[in-house]
């Protein structure tokens, strides 16, 4: 097998475009390249227009505007020892965090100096999600230091949109059951979304559970029911889950059963959350707590305007569902939607709803999702706890 660390060519940037790389920002866009990228997925040396070496990068998948992700800056090495050291450092950070769970993000891409690579741990199984084909030749080297850490016995690879395959150990029996605090959740590593579970919402699930006593809760975009289970375990009187995916709702029912929560069939609605929320409003249903956690509406810049309309509309419906003095936990996982834009969408929705909305807590992903200060736009999740009067 050829050495995946062997440099396959070099690429020069246009004059001035080296500035962000010198500030250790790992993304280089196609528009910054002065020449063509070498063919294939091999690592390339990146040079400033004047020939100054800037480091080593992996090419981005075809099509997207991201051309390169820097894996070594300046004179840093990109070799097996450097890669293993970064994976080990990422795992050791999680060990120090002392999270009350057996599931967490072990590698958070740019936040762990491994741009384009995610690794999630579900009990004894680690799932690698390489966002770029360029990561494929390195996965054996990523898997080796994972095995044994945190009691991990199996390492899987699940590229976006593909079924998982075994890298080390065996495919675990389905579904894997994980623990968050005193709650248990089933994780479908084969057909579930992303790597199987939304680990980034862990601290927000816990927070919601602490606020839900006596409340009726609407959980819009519920996926496997994480927020509903946390709320019901925290004393909510009812939780209504809405998701477009029947398979997600099946996982949510399984999550209820794992936590000995009775499954009331009417509390799982498969359908479009925009439409279902409108119907609930029209039917006069009201809730003391509403959770809105949609998929990313804005995945590229061209989607910004339409996506912001989506955030406004779903939050408008959520506010109409809220009883007076209600609590709204509203989320956006679009990295391209900043706090400014998200706040504007909420303000516009509150005006239309005729409600006063106050932001109580601006929350995000938990500490197992570190954000490099050199690449702050990688912070994707906004989860704002709001009082709606
Ligand atoms: N809150 C969840 C994660 C939600 S992910 C948790 O904490 O685990 C977003 C979910 O929205 C996915 O489950 C997806 O199936 C669902 N979804 C996408 N579009 C939808 C739509 N238009 N209406 C309802 N659900 C939708």
Point out the ligand 1 atom lying closest to the alpha carbon of residue 204: 7
Tell me which residues are annotated as active site: 333
For the stretch 73-127, pLDDT in tens is: 999 999 999 999 999 999 999 999 999 999 999 999 999 999 999 999 999 999 9
Q: Is 273 in the pocket of ligand 1 (CB under 6 A)?
A: yes
Residue keyed to tokens 């690879």: 157
Prediction pTM value = 0.95
Q: Is 226 in the pocket of ligand 1 (CB under 6 A)?
A: yes
User: What 3-state class would DSSP assign to 45?
Assistant: strand
Atom 19 (ligand 1) nearest CA: 244
For the stretch 140-153, pLDDT in tens is: 999 999 998 999 99
- Comparing 51-65, 134-148, 193-207, 219-233, the range with the smallest average pLDDT is 51-65
For the stretch 20-78, pLDDT in tens is: 999 999 999 999 999 888 888 899 999 999 999 999 999 987 667 899 999 999 999 99
- Taking the centre of ligand 1 as the mean of its atom positions, its distance from the CA of residue 297, in whole angstroms, is 11
Residue 135: closest CA among 63, 78, 76: 78
- Taking the centre of ligand 1 as the mean of its atom positions, its distance from the CA of residue 244, in whole angstroms, is 7
Residues 6 or more apart whose Cβ sits within 8 Å of residue 183: 205, 229, 230, 233, 259
Residues facing 220 on adjacent strands: 242, 292
b/e map 243-271, b = 16+ CB within 10 Å: bbbeebbbbbbbbbebbebeeeeebbbee
Q: Is 227 in the pocket of ligand 1 (CB under 6 A)?
A: yes
Residue keyed to tokens 């968050």: 180
Alpha helices in the chain (DSSP H): 19-22, 80-97, 139-146, 202-209, 226-233, 246-258, 273-282, 304-321, 339-353
* Residue 146: how many other CB atoms lie within 10 Å: 23
For the stretch 275-287, pLDDT in tens is: 999 999 999 999 9
Write out the H or E segment, with its range, that includes residue 238.
Answer: strand 238-243
Q: Is 272 in the pocket of ligand 1 (CB under 6 A)?
A: yes
Q: In this structure, what are the phi and psi dihedrals at residue 21, rounded to the nearest 5 degrees?
A: -65, -40
Atom 15 (ligand 1) nearest CA: 245
- Taking the centre of ligand 1 as the mean of its atom positions, its distance from the CA of residue 214, in whole angstroms, is 25
Question: Which of 246, 294, 333 is the pocket-test mutation for ligand 1 (most atoms within 8 Å of CB)?
Answer: 294
Q: Is 244 in the pocket of ligand 1 (CB under 6 A)?
A: yes
Question: Which of 221, 254, 306 is the pocket-test mutation for ligand 1 (most atoms within 8 Å of CB)?
Answer: 221
pLDDT at 2: 83
Chain mean pLDDT for the chain: 96
pLDDT at 108: 98
Long-range contacts formed by 168-176: CB under 8 A, 24+ apart: 168/143, 168/144, 169/125, 172/124, 172/125, 175/251, 175/254, 176/122, 176/123, 176/125
CB 150 within 8 A of CB 165: no
Omega within 30 of 0 (cis) for the link into 175: yes
CB 175 within 8 A of CB 188: yes
């Amino acid at each position: 097998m050829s050495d995946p660390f062997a440099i396959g060519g070099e690429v020069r940037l246009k004059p001035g475009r080296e500035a962000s790389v010198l500030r250790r920002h790992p993304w280089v866009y196609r528009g910054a390249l002065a020449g063509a990228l070498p063919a294939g997925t091999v690592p390339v040396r990146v040079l400033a227009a004047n020939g100054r070496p800037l480091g080593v990068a992996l090419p981005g998948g075809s099509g997207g505007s991201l051309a390169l992700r820097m894996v070594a800056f300046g004179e840093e090495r990109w070799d097996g020892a450097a890669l293993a050291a970064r994976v080990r450092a990422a795992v050791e950070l999680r060990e120090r965090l002392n999270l009350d769970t057996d599931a967490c993000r072990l590698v958070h891409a740019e936040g762990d100096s491994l741009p384009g690579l995610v690794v999630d741990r579900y009990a004894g199984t680690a799932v690698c999600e390489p966002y770029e084909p360029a990561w494929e030749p390195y996965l054996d080297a990523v898997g080796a230091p994972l095995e044994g850490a945190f009691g991990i016995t199996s390492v899987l690879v699940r590229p976006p949109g593909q079924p998982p395959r075994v890298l080390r150990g065996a495919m675990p029996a389905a579904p894997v059951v994980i623990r968050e605090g005193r709650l248990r959740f089933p994780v479908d590593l084969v057909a579930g979304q992303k790597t199987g579970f939304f680990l980034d919402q862990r601290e927000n699930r816990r927070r919601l559970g602490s606020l839900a006593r006596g409340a009726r809760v609407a959980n819009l975009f519920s996926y496997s029911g994480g927020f509903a289970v946390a709320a019901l375990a925290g004393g909510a009187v009812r939780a209504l889950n809405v998701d477009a995916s029947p398979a997600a709702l099946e996982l949510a029912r399984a999550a209820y059963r794992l936590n000995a929560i009775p499954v009331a069939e009417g509390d799982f609605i498969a359908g479009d959350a925009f439409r279902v929320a409108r119907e609930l409003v029209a039917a006069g249903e009201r809730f003391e707590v509403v959770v809105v956690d949609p998929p990313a509406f804005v995945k590229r810049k061209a989607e910004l305007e339409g996506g912001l309309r989506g955030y406004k509309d779903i939050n408008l419906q959520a506010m109409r569902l809220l009883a007076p003095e209600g609590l709204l936990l509203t989320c956006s996982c679009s990295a391209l939607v900043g706090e400014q834009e998200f706040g504007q969408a909420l303000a516009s929705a509150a005006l239309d709803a005729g409600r006063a909305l106050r932001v109580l807590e601006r929350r995000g992903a938990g500490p197992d999702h570190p954000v490099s200060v050199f690449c702050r736009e990688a912070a994707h999740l906004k989860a704002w706890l709001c009082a709606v009067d």
